[in-house]
A and B are shown apart, each in its own frame.
Chain A
Amino acid sequence: MIYLDNAATTFPKPEIVYKTMDNFYRTLGANPGRSGHRMAVAAEKEVEDTRTVVARLFGIKDSKRLILTFNATDAINMGIKGLLKSGDHAITTFLEHNAVSRALNGLEKRNIITVTKVRNSPDGLINPDDIKNAITSKTRLIVISHAPNVLGTIQPIRKIGRIAREHNIIFMVDAAQTAGVCEINVDEDYVDMLAFTGHKGPLGPTGTGGLYVEERLTLEPWREGGTGFEPASLSQPEELPFKLESGTPNTVGIAGLRAGIEYVLSKGIGTIRAHEQRLTNKIIQALKDDQRFILYGTTDISQKVGILSINVKGFKAAEVGAILDQSFDIAVRPGLHCAPFAHQMIGTFPDGTVRISPGLFNTEEDVDLFIRALVKIANERI
């Protein structure tokens, strides 16, 4: 199987991730911080080590402000629902994943907040001025994906972040597709909340992720319960990360996440991104002048992560996905990618696109085989 669906989850993981998780669960599988025995302490240390490594990845100075979550959706909900209050206004885009769109829409439908969605250019870019123009006196939050998952266009988060800071508005970035493949520095990019998932760019397992919460922010916990900290108190502790981290954490996943991020850091984010861009660009160059294919979003690879959305004329996206799977043993992601508005913006709703996302472990040969397969499919138009 040639796996070109790394935007859904990266596969395979570095060997060290499998080994770390196996070893952790066999030797340190205690509940961290609760019981005080040596194994529990060792498990807690593993969690805190991961927090430190994640903090390093994003330039976070105080690792206690990095909340470990179960994925990006968990982090996004924690941020949006923990921050927004009745009467608040939020600004977002049409390109967002349902994790953002639905969380905001849910609050809007209950008349708690109002939302403005900013349009993108045909290339898939958001103009920071459009965001600025959408600001009202009620605007509390600007939330945007660093590189939306359908088109993969990298958004100018620093410029948007500066606008937010100037207007004293909270700036939240969904880094699901960029953590581990794009340089992110929460201070330099003016990010107040950064949500990421562990199983994509950071090369960790599913069930891991995190939310960075900037110092000036106080979030209400959207999940309350046991923290292993101040157990006698009836109310949730105020101190981070405990306030937002109730319940037994995914310790084995967290151990794997650390191994994944350490692997990413040792390879170098720049190297990984260059590799993925090179492979994606090879596909773009092979298809872009062929009338049988439609490519969506910018074809300028310097503006993209390794995500490409296409369609083959005469076929539905789901059909192309199924043919690639069964006749060529190639895995891609057809459909709407949990981002229906993005597909409405590019005119591919409801059938969606075929999304190809090469990863660190793909080779030039994988991509060549993919291109050849796609041409064969296009040749058999019915």
Chain B
Amino acid sequence: MSERYARQISFYGIGIQGQKILMQKNAVLIGCGALGCTSANLLVRSGLKRLKVIDRDYIEESNLQRQSLFDEEDISKNLPKVVAAQKKLQKVNSHVQVESFIADLNPSNIETLLESADIIIDGTDNFETRFLVNDYCVKKGIPWIYGACIGSVGLTMNIVPSKTPCLRCVLENIPPFGTIETCDTEGIIAPIASMIASIQVAEALKILTGNFETLNKGLLKIDLWRNEIKRLHVEDIKEKSDCITCKQHRYEFLSKKTYSMITTLCARNAVQILHPNGSKLDLKRLAVRLEKAGYVSFNSFLLRLKIDRYELTVFPDGRSIISGTTDASVAKGLYAKYIGM
């Protein structure tokens, strides 16, 4: 064993045995934003066998404030997040096999992308992907670690199938259209992302080395601005609930039964997205929120949001026409960022 992992091996919770086990493990990171950058960095340094990083976005200037793997040069090269990340990570630790995928994780490619994962780390920005991952992990018995943050608030929870409640035990469905806040409208400070990602990786190390007894139990909620740490006890929900995923084993997201419908429209350069939990919304409320993100105009039928070269037209039930792209994953990314899903 090289000197590289000496301090980690000296730590009582890992040891030489734990390190050997870690170096046989495959992790998959979904989403390489603020959470993902920190997670990837910590995971690669800890010495896994392989880390797969999946993300559909390109680096933007507004990412640099909190996404620690990227720099100004990456932006000038117009790099996809995963490409820049892979380069940095490989420099950090050439013994870990880092693989990058510029992709939108969806029910069609999840089997291929998450194949042979020992653990899955959540770095996504939307509930739809999380519910999909939850379906997959419960079905396959793979642990995953939920993580999310906005503003100064972060949440994390371990989902170890058959041992803990799953995401759908805690949250029955994707919040309805218009009720989800996003970092692009509400903002975020970097420390909360680093903190949540650090907890996620610590939990991952425990799970991968079989230290289940010290796992964080329940849903952890931290607000760094208000100095609050709360642990929501959800451990016994599993016994009480009749969870559609982990009790009834109906995988609605994996089978696309509940999933956003994405259609490339018969006009050049536009994609239509239907919200997976569409419901009538007063566009005025949405306008107030989106005004922080870009130029907004609206009437009772539609709301238009201009962001760079894109225009998002949103209708009262959550349907959106995204012009400026024919790429479904770009459109979905914009939807998740500004409208929320």
Interface residues of chain A, those whose CB is within 8 Å of chain B, are: 316-319, 322-323, 326-327, 333-338, 340, 349-352, 377, 380-382
Contact = CB atoms under 8 A, between A and B. Distances in A.
A335 B267 contact: yes
B265 interface: yes
B275 to A, nearest CB: 12
B267 A382 contact: no
Interface in B259-306: 265-270, 272, 297-302, 304
Q: Which 8 A-B pairs have the closest CB atoms?
A: A335-B266, A350-B268, A380-B299, A335-B267, A323-B301, A352-B267, A382-B297, A382-B299
Given A322-B321, A323-B315, A327-B316, A317 B267 contact: yes
Most chain A beta-carbon contacts within 10 A, residue among B266, B316, B323: B266
A322 B267 contact: no
Nearest to B313: A319
B267 A336 contact: yes
A335 B270 CA distance: 10
Contacts of A336: 266-268
15 contacts: A318-B265, A318-B272, A318-B321, A318-B323, A322-B315, A322-B321, A326-B319, A334-B266, A336-B266, A337-B266, A351-B268, A380-B300, A380-B301, A382-B298, A382-B304
Contacts of A319: 302, 313, 321
A351 B267 contact: yes
A351 B265 CA distance: 10
Given A334-B267, A335-B267, A336-B266, 6 more contacts: A322-B321, A326-B316, A335-B265, A336-B268, A352-B266, A382-B299
B317 interface: yes
A352 B265 CA distance: 11
A318 B301 contact: no
Contacts of B299: 380-382
A368 B250 CA distance: 45
Nearest to B303: A382
B267 A326 contact: no
A319 B317 CA distance: 13
Interface residues of B, number: 21
Most chain B beta-carbon contacts within 10 A, residue among A319, A322, A337, A338: A322
Interface string B304-341: 10000000010111010101000000000000000000
B267 A318 contact: yes
Contact of B319 (A322, A337, A340, A350): A322
B266 A326 contact: no
B266 A323 contact: no
Contacts of A340: 268
A352 B272 CA distance: 15
Contacts of B269: 350
Contacts, number: 61
Most chain A beta-carbon contacts within 10 A, residue among B298, B302, B323: B302
Contacts of B270: 318
Contacts of B272: 318, 322
A338 B264 CA distance: 13
A317 B269 CA distance: 13
Interface in B236-270: 265-270
B176 to A, nearest CB: 16
A310 to B, nearest CB: 15
A333 B297 CA distance: 25
A363 B203 CA distance: 64
A316 B313 contact: yes
Contacts of A351: 267-268
Interface in B112-168: none
Nearest to A381: B299
A380 B267 CA distance: 23
A111 B313 CA distance: 43
Nearest to A349: B268
Contacts of B316: 326-327
A351 B311 CA distance: 13
A327 B301 contact: yes
A316 B269 CA distance: 12
A326 B317 contact: yes
Contact of A377 (B301, B313, B319): B301
A102 to B, nearest CB: 15
A159 B313 CA distance: 46
A337 B267 CA distance: 8
A350 B269 CA distance: 8
Most chain B beta-carbon contacts within 10 A, residue among A318, A338, A349: A318
B267 A350 contact: yes
B266 A338 contact: yes
Contacts of A382: 297-299, 304
B300 to A, nearest CB: 6
A97 to B, nearest CB: 12
Contacts of A326: 315-317, 319
Contacts of B266: 333-338, 352
A43 to B, nearest CB: 35
A344 to B, nearest CB: 11
Contacts of A377: 301
Contacts of A323: 301-302, 315
B134 to A, nearest CB: 30
Contacts of A381: 299
Nearest to B314: A322
A325 to B, nearest CB: 8
A106 to B, nearest CB: 20
Contacts of A318: 265, 267, 270, 272, 313, 321, 323
Contact of A316 (B300, B315, B319, B323): B323
Contacts of A327: 301, 315-316
Nearest to B280: A326
B302 A322 contact: yes
A382 B302 CA distance: 10
A349 to B, nearest CB: 7
Interface string B158-185: 0000000000000000000000000000
B192 to A, nearest CB: 37
Contacts of A317: 267
B313 A322 contact: yes
